[in-house]
Amino acid sequence: MITTNPFDDDKLREECGIFGVSRAETASAIVALGLHALQHRGQEAAGITSWDGHDFHTHRAMGHVAGNFDRDEVIRGLPGDTACGHVRYSTTGETSLRNVQPLYAELNSGGFAIAHNGNISNAMKLRRELIRRGSIFQSTSDTEVIIHLVATSSYRTLLDKFIDALKQVEGAYSLIVMTPEGMIACRDPLGIRPLVMGTLGETTIFASETVALDVVGADYVRTIDPGELVIVTNDGQIRSHRPFGDTHPRPCIFEHVYFSRPDSIIDNSSVYSVRKAIGAQLAIENPVEADYVIPVPDSGVPAAIGYAQQSSIPFELGIIRSHYIGRTFIQPGDKVRHLGVKLKHNANRALIKGKRIVLIDDSIVRGTTSLKIVQMMREAGAAEVHMRIASPPTKHSCFYGVDTPERTKLLAHKLDVGGMQDFIHADSLSFISIDGLYKALGEAKRADIRPQYCDACFTGDYPTTLTDQDDVVVTNQLELLAERVV
């Protein structure tokens, strides 16, 4: 039986990554390189669509970019000077090839390809309405709703049809769209999901993170503003549209904590430097006497460096991670499954035996990983095991493009900090405060009205309506009421 790695099922999934190139001689090859740099944002599937001036060409596959897009024959099958790509972890819709993006459709105006990072929180309601009006869906992805809204819009121009569609959707989206007229890149009015713009000579590039620009040798130009549409025509003209008027941005705070690569830049701030600042603030708020500060690799490393520097406790690698294990491996039984944990992480026994250690991790989701790590440290002879987390407790589900477990499966929803400490068998457990997290990001504190970030996974303060979730709640209540009546 092939099962998900037990360490991977206790992390918030990294949503998706998108990358687009306009006016490049080898557009699809550049997109493939960009997707390599964004692989951490989605590892289930990848796809690239290109435009050669006459026809659209698409190659989509399950699995990683490597192995699917590093063959010459694949790139040769994606000709043209314009292309966009997508790496996916499914947040809505089943895991199957029909949901792999970019999605493509032939509209009245011509071909339409779309790559989406985020989640449409009223997609189910819109889908039902569109089906009643005669739309036929080819996937279970929420992204396809946008295509049908564009196709059925009564507006005249393609741009107006697209804007009309966006004004009907709720939730989070960063989009790259390709049409015969050119490329469109846009973000939702709150800017929940990231999107940046760069240049490589005369080529314009859009990407989820700046690290993807670095990898292809492009220069970072700027962030696409929340609610902004940037259009690049086939002859290289660039226009900006802001159909949503004034916006009050609330970008995802977890990009700084975990999702983005540490070598990326978000809103002119180094992700690596921010994570070190989070670790330092964590040390100020939650000090402990210990011999070593040890990161849970790899996501806990920058915060652990910051904690160690602030606390003057030595930073050491007490857990060694193997980089040669994939996301899946064979686990024929519970005993082997338990032993399989050490294929990915193993204790540096000679270092930690008899020592008091502080483990630094980015978050606790279900708690199973933290439990196994603490147990590993104790089996290796640690005298004390203290856990410090570089984010507040994750108490709420995300509906904006992050695949979180049901709220009832979140450890922080079920238990207070003391209960969580007992569950993972640590000598102590502490989290950074929500105001401390904002302070590490350069804010005085979290604003009570219109907070500076989307932090709903910590606070439950969702910045948009959640139509589909509200419909589910109402339906469940009606079903319960009907059962009582019977």
Q: Which residues are designated catalytic?
A: 16
Instruction: For residues 40 and 13, give the distance between their C-alpha atoms in angstroms, rounded to a whole number.
Output: 9
Q: In a 3-state reduction of DSSP, which class is residue 4?
A: strand
Q: Which regions of 189-309 does DSSP assign to beta strands (E)?
A: 196-200, 203-207, 219-223, 229-233, 238-241, 265-266, 269-270, 292-295
Taking CA atoms, 367 is separated from 28, 66, 276, 389, 457, in Å, by 41, 31, 23, 12, 16
The answer to whether the beta carbons of residues 51 and 83 sit under 8 Å apart is: yes
Choose among 430, 269, 424, 420: nearest CA to 360. 430
Taking CA atoms, 3 is separated from 6, 151, 326, 328, in Å, by 8, 40, 11, 6
Before 102, cis peptide (omega within 30)?
Answer: yes
Q: Would you give the distance in Å from CA 187 to the centre of its chain?
A: 15
Instruction: For residues 399 and 44, give the distance between their C-alpha atoms in angstroms, rounded to a whole number.
Output: 19
The answer to whether the beta carbons of residues 41 and 87 sit under 8 Å apart is: yes
Choose among 412, 407, 308: nearest CA to 359. 308
Angle at 161 between CA 32 and CA 236, to 5 degrees: 45
Q: φ, ψ for residue 120 (rounded to 5)?
A: -90, 115
Task: Count Cβ atoms within 10 A of the Cβ of residue 52 and give its class: 0-12 exposed, 13-18 middle, 19 or more buried.
Answer: middle
Burial 287-306 (b: 16+ CB within 10 A, else e): ebebbbbbbbbebbbbbbbb
Q: Which two tokens stand for residue 257?
A: 């904590």
